[in-house]
Amino acid sequence: CGLDNILIVDKMRENGKEKNIERKKFIDLIDKQEFINKVRSKPSYYQDIRTIFHIGACSSTLNLDEEYLKKNNTDYSIELAKWCIERDTRYIYASSGATYGDGGQGFIDNINELENLKPLNPYGQSKHDFDLWVKENKLFDRLLGIKFFNVFGPNEYHKGDMRSVIHKAFPGVRDEGVMKLFKSYKEGYKDGEQKRDFIYIKDALEVMMFFLERKDIGGLFNLGRGQAETWNAVAEAMFKALDKPVNIEYIDMPDELRPRYQYLTEADMSKLQNSGYDKGFTSLEESIKDYVVNYLNKDNPYY
């Protein structure tokens, strides 16, 4: 099917999320609960669906409601996966770099090592639990999971505290010429030197389209740039994009976040490369420049 032949399943309830789809072509929009209810009552419902990208979840790393996260993130994913398997519908879902926890076991997307991972927060655990369910049921040859690392870019504006730091910090950099970053509370990491594997949303979408076309591929894949970079580097790129001098203020990290904070994420990208994907990724500096100049600094920042 064409990319305009899309059914959107979501909960468009607040924060201007509907603006994300104003410029998009799709055949229908249905509430996530209504959709799963129809799946339950009519297994043949939407019989023409060929592929499901299950990307939605509660992604708050500060949400400690394990029961809610299990129901919303894990159980919903399981129910939808079973429906797809029964109908032989392709199922591509979002896992998360948060499943790797503090990185003590590395960041290699090896399904044989899944049991060794220890997420630092209930969100990461809810995604990890679904990965484990897929493995326990021997379904990785039929399903495809994507461990997204730090994705940023246009159309994240509804996400509240889970927006990227780039979007959160933009008004301060533009209007006040200052960017606030968390202090470090771990030996070996100076303030602002905590590292993340950042990937631009446009690059992430290229990989997702690659998986859509390659129906022979299943398994679990990391999706980052494969290169950890510091928050200071993010700040420097933002100031450069706005032609302003670098001015970083280091602030206290909330107490509730400190024990759950990842100081390093860096995806091993060899599995994706070995699968045949060869487009590469945009540099952090160029990605931030595109986001800031062509979206955040425009009257209409939506993609």
123 catalytically annotated: yes
Say which residue the tokens 């533009």 belong to. Answer: 174
The residues, ordered by sequence, that sit 6+ positions from 48 with a Cβ below 8 Å of its Cβ are: none
Instruction: Show the tokens assigned to 78.
Output: 């399981």
- Helix, strand or coil, per DSSP, at residue 103: coil
Among residues 17, 70, 159, 289, which one is catalytic? 159
- Given 91, 93, 123, 200, the catalytic residue: 123
CA dihedral in degrees (205, 234, 17, 161; nearest 10)? Answer: 130
Rounded distance, CA 298 to CA 296, Å? 6
Structure tokens at 152: 């940023």
* Rg of the chain taking only CA atoms, in angstroms: 19
Q: Is 157 a catalytic residue?
A: no
Question: Is the Cβ–Cβ distance between 124 and 58 less than 8 Å?
Answer: no
Mind telling me the catalytic residues? Answer: 123, 159
